Chains A and B, each alone.
Chain A
Amino acid sequence: MTFEGAVHKYGRDVDTDVIIPARYLNTNDPAELAQHCMEDIDPEFVSRVRPGDIIVAGENFGCGSSREHAPVAIKASGVSCVVAASFARIFYRNAFNTGLPIVVCPQAAHEVKAGDRVRVDVVEGKVEDLTTGKSYAADAYPPFMRELVESGGLLPYVRRRLATGDGA
């Protein structure tokens, strides 16, 4: 899984209220949520973002609420992948569960600049800044997370487990 795109850069503690404000949570339609993605931190984001672009941010990305609407909005806005120094734990789970590729890479998170073109290899755990030519090693997915991704997400995984009589 490799993604390439232009970088939208943010700082640390980007919370779910700025990713998708609660005032828009009376729907779970991805296209509608995408219209308000990052609205309270970067009102121009929606008009600037291009399909395949990559968000690069600091520590604790996605902190706050459990709203899965946050990764859903990011994905529906066209963003291919999020690179951060660290992710808040519920966002981390939600990203895997909704199929938004995420990568933990503190060094890239701090050095990559807004507008740079980067290439991210999610499986190998590699971030390349094509603008500066620098390459960064990212955390590889833990084996269980890899199994989830290979199953096509959590719900297909659970369906398979239930089908094999491995229920509650």
Chain B
Amino acid sequence: MAPATHIPAGPLHLAVALDGAGWHPAAWREPDAEPDQLFTAAYWVNLAQQAEHGLLDFVTIEDSLDLQSDHHFRRDERTDRVRGRLDAALIAARAAPRTRHIGFIPTAVTTHTEPFHTSKTIATLDYVSTGRAGVRVQIGGRTDTAAHFGRREIAPPSVERLDDPDVQALIAEHFDEAADYVEVLRRLWDSWEDDAEIRDVATGRFIDRDKLHYIDFEGRWFSVRGPSITPRPPQGQPVVAALGHATVPYRLIARSADVGFVTPRDAGSAAAIVAEIRAEQALAGRADETVHVFGDLVVFLDDSAAAAQRRRERLDGLAGGTYSSDAQIFAGTAAQLADLLLDWREAGLAGFRLRPAALPHDLAQITGALVPELQRRGVFRTAYPAGPGSGTLRGLLGLPRPANRYAAA
């Protein structure tokens, strides 16, 4: 069956990816940067509130179970970059009560963290945000990261190249594990039916235990009995996201996720990626489910294209080399970026996850210049939706609240 051609009829979705002082390695050296505040609650609350002020759909928060490194496979021992970070889910939980509308999608590492823990963490984030939680699942393939846990060996890659077949096989295995992981998260979220709590004084029962379910997942990497210790979260199923650059992760997005982050170089490659994901989605039997594909872009935004370009060059100079990224790097004005987004969107992208090159500058440009520009063009919301049933991340993304897989029809 050929995948249906996607026509971007829905509203444009916009997210911002928060990480340290911004995505450029020299961002922390900008005059308005606050590198000494990176480990305070106020820093993250301010960023989330700024993003909410711009009516964005959600923020993502990067994480890892190791010290950041410029190198894919090992630590780099650099002293001129931001190093150290706080747990992303806890940052989200700390910021959520100080916001009302915006979603939070922290990263969880599927290679090491127990799926039972991640499931209740994200369910609880959904409670403390009253329905605005998601999770971005990420594999953690570094050998030195595995040594932080000491319970599984990850062999150092023989050739430090991503296209090495051994490396590819290892990555494919991590992604298979990630798919199992998401299956466990989803089963645990459904392991309580919505109306399981009955408080029936006559029979003395707090719950109807027939509405709690063992999930009995048995896989190659873990077995989980369930049910969750946390009742089904407000959204039923918090939003699951994953980032992908190739067929293997696209398959994870298609099989398991609600939102995929991808890194096209242009509208043509965006169309090809979307087609590949839709085909995998059909193979996985999910053709009729919504899987939003978001394009990732690193953005330098200024009032003139020349200023943005100069800033990019200045930061590259400070960093001692040209910053390259898995995502396309954009440097220009908000109007130019709006043109690009609307062009790429024709390829079937539901929205974009923008990675601010430097914080707070590029976030302020997104909310203060890009969003008004998109609003002027009539393609972005002018207020968060109000009224009953609104106020959840699924609601913002146009995703229905899913039925519980264990509930009797």
Does B bind A? no
Residues of chain B having any CB pair with chain A under 8 Å: none
